[in-house]
Amino acid sequence: MMIRWISLPLLLGALAGPAMAADCPVLLKGQGELPKLRAKESIDLCQRFAGKPMLVVNTASFCGFTSQFKGLEALNQKYKAQGLEVLGVPSNDFKQESKDGEETAKVCYVNYGVTFTMTEPQPVRGDDAIPLFRNLAEQSDGTAPRWNFYKYVVDRQGKVIAHFGSTTKPDDPDLVAAIEKAIASKP
């Protein structure tokens, strides 16, 4: 009899796992995991971001827009209590990212004080783009990042509600309005 009582919680826990995976939007599900910048761990996108509003940005350490890290961090600090997740994805697609992850981490974490989630460098455009960025582009009328610091605002259902070019600063009123709309969206 004791075994049945112990197995019931295990069974219920096992059944909860697939239900969570089913709630993961296609945007995140297609990617699976991404390696975290300068860490031995990976980021399970479904587990970490499903049901949360997001700002996804492709970054580069040696770009004229790199100072936008400060503004992105300010957005992160301002809206994280409301559920916003900022995800930075370094990329060398425009030949402005270091080949050394340690140097990329220094630029992000030391030079700009970034506390939001950053991945190891990934391809973000073309045939080699990771599934996350292929899905972001698909949902944005085929618009892949045209340069570094291209920004996608994603609602709680995993739908892109707006995208902004590199020249759009993190404090731009239209970007902030899109983020607030994503935060207000229903899961």
Span of 4-8, 97-101, 165-169 with lowest mean pLDDT: 4-8
Q: Give the Cα separation of 187 and 184 in Å (integer).
A: 9
Average pLDDT estimate for 75-99: 97
Residue 151: pLDDT over 90: yes
Does the domain at 25-184 match CATH 3.40.30.10? Answer given as yes
Could you tell me the two tokens for 36?
Answer: 């975290």
d(CA 73, CA 52): 17
Residue 174 tokens read as 């239209």
63 given a catalytic annotation: yes
Q: Which of 24, 46, 63, 108 is catalytic?
A: 63
Given a cut of 90, whether residue 180 has pLDDT beyond it is: yes
Mean pLDDT of the 21-50 span:
90
The predicted structure's pLDDT at residue 119: 97
The radius of gyration of the chain's CA atoms, rounded to the nearest angstrom, is 18
Q: Please state at what angle helix 68-79 crosses helix 173-184, rounded to 10 degrees.
A: 30
Residue 32's pLDDT is what? 87
Q: Buried b vs exposed e over 109-125: b needs ≥16 C-beta within 10 Å?
A: eeebebebbbbbbbbbb
pLDDT over 70, % of the chain: 88
What are the residues facing 56 on neighbouring strands? 87, 152
